[in-house]
Structure 1
Amino acid sequence: MATPSVAPQPSAPVPRRGNPLRRRTDALRFWVRVIFAAALGIAVALTVLLGLHLYADGRAQAARQAAGLHRVDAVAATQPVSAGVDTWIATLTWTDNGRSHREQAPVPPATAPGDHVTVWVNSQEVPQPDPIPAVQSAGSAATYSLAIFSGAVLLLSGGYAYTRHRIDTSAWKSWENEWAKVEPEWTHRH
């Protein structure tokens, strides 16, 4: 068997424009995919920015909350009692600025009399809720961002599916019209 003098060449790629088999709907499908991908990318970027903004806002709120407070080391004087869902209160005693204080404040449920507990108090030495922890700010920001992103993906996917359906319907209608013209010639039914 003789070897060919010229190596076989792959066929040239079909040009996008001027291809008689490429229809207008093919180009529309391509651009709809590009727009959908770009919109998803924008949604990701905006969601990340929203999450960062919500986290920064949560941290600023915690800083404002902690601005007029200071921590004291208190000792539980009584056994904690339930004061609602996941809230336990005990009488605490502490000394601050040379003065002795005795107040009720939220404590962990496992606190026993004599245990040391850290309490946030205001300038009047009244116990206040702890400032919002960074983990809670991050969790809230992530939850809201994920919910917004999920909604955006749902909306964009619905729009993409609807647009593709309309394009496909148009393509089928065009195909049926062209087939109605060509079929009599191919089947020799005039």
Structure 2
Amino acid sequence: MLGWRWRHSSLRRRSDVVEAWTVLVVAVLILVGAPLAGAAAAWWAHGEARSVSAEQQAERHRVRAEVVGRRSDSLPSVQADGQRAYRATVRWTEPGEGARTATARVPGDARPGEVVDVWFDSRGRSVAPPVDGAAVWQHTLTMGTCAAGGVVLVVLLGHSVVRRVALRRRLAEWEREWARTEPEWTHRGA
């Protein structure tokens, strides 16, 4: 019975043929199209994430600073790496400029007097560390997976619409055939 929609049969309807071709197209789109779309999206996302990472690394610089004190109005926040951080006053010495003090994000477990790494942008504002290679790859894989999953979802949704339309047409064809055949079987019209 496998492949009955492809063979000629008096029971086969046009909607059966359309549905059989739709299954073939769906299989090709899921097995070939979705991975290709995922790979293309991942390639694009990887390039974008690498350029963002390069820009951030060029613009931001790390400073080893001593935590002077915690700001009283600072609420802890969660950074991209999942660690807690809060804003504190830090002090460091830059060659040729002397001691400097600023407010920066420090790890949640940093105590006054402890030396920590803080990041500043070119304007001297405290910023998060630049995106590293692991985050670039995580973004790449996430975008690729979401794109492939989106293609699969759209294809399956389209397939369900085609199946629903094919079923309605098939039932209408059977109804017309039965309207022609039923009087012969039941002898109602005689």
TM range (shorter): 0.7 to 0.9
| Bigger mean CA deviation after superposition, 91-100 or 174-183 | 91-100
Per-residue deviation, 1:82: 4.6
1:122–1:187 distance in 2 versus 1, CA, 3 Å: closer
Deviation (angstroms), 1:61: 0.6
Higher RCO (CA < 8 A, seq sep 6+): 2
CA deviation digits over 1:75-133, x for unaligned, max 9? 11223545356152222222332533322211112210121211234567664432123
Q: CA deviation at 1:67?
A: 0.8
Aligned residue runs from structure 1 range 51-70, under 5 A: 51-70=42-61
Task: Describe how 1:94-173 pairs up with structure 2 within 5 A.
Answer: 94-97=92-95, 99-121=98-120, 127-143=126-142, 148-149=147-148, 151-173=150-172
- Output one character per residue of 1:116-172: Cα deviation in whole Å (capped at 9) or x when no partner: 211234567664432123444445455555555555444333322221111111111
Q: Distance in 2 between matches of 1:123 and 1:35?
A: 53
Q: Distance in 2 between matches of 1:127 and 1:59?
A: 22
How far 1:35 sits from its partner (Å)?
1.8
- 1:55-77 deviation line (CA, Å, top 9, x unaligned): 33122112111113332221112
2:39 equivalent to 1:48: yes
Find the counterpart in structure 1 of residue 70 from structure 2. Answer: 79
Unaligned 5+ residue runs, structure 2?
Answer: 78-84
Deviation string 1:156-190 (CA, Å, 9 cap, x unpaired) is: 33322221111111111111111222222222333
Structure 1 residues 82 and 39: alpha-carbon distance in aligned structure 2, compared to 1, 3 A threshold:
farther
Q: TM-score, normalised by structure 2?
A: 0.74
- Partners of 2:129 and 2:141 lie apart in 1 by 21
CA contact 1:91–1:103 (8 Å) conserved in 2: yes
Question: Is the 8 Å Cα contact of residues 80 and 109 (structure 1) preserved in structure 2?
Answer: no
Match of 1:91 in 2: 89
Determine the C-alpha separation between the residues in 2 that align with 1:172 and 1:100. 84
Task: Give the fraction of aligned pairs with identical amino acids, expressed as a percent.
Answer: 28
Read off the aligned partner of 2:42 and give its amino acid letter.
G
Q: Residue 80 of structure 1 contacts residue 107 of structure 1 at CA under 8 Å; is this kept in 2?
A: no
* Alignment-derived partner of residue 21 in structure 2: 31
Gaps of 5+ in 1: 1-12
RMSD of aligned residue pairs (Cα, Å): 3.1
SS of residue in 1 equivalent to 2:108: coil
CA distance in 2, matches of 1:17, 1:173: 22
Which residue is 2:82 aligned to?
A: none
Higher-Rg member (1/2): 1
Greater mean alpha carbon deviation, residues 14-23 or residues 29-38 = 14-23
TM normalised by structure 1 equals 0.74
CA distance in 2 between partners of 1:18 and 1:184 (Å): 26
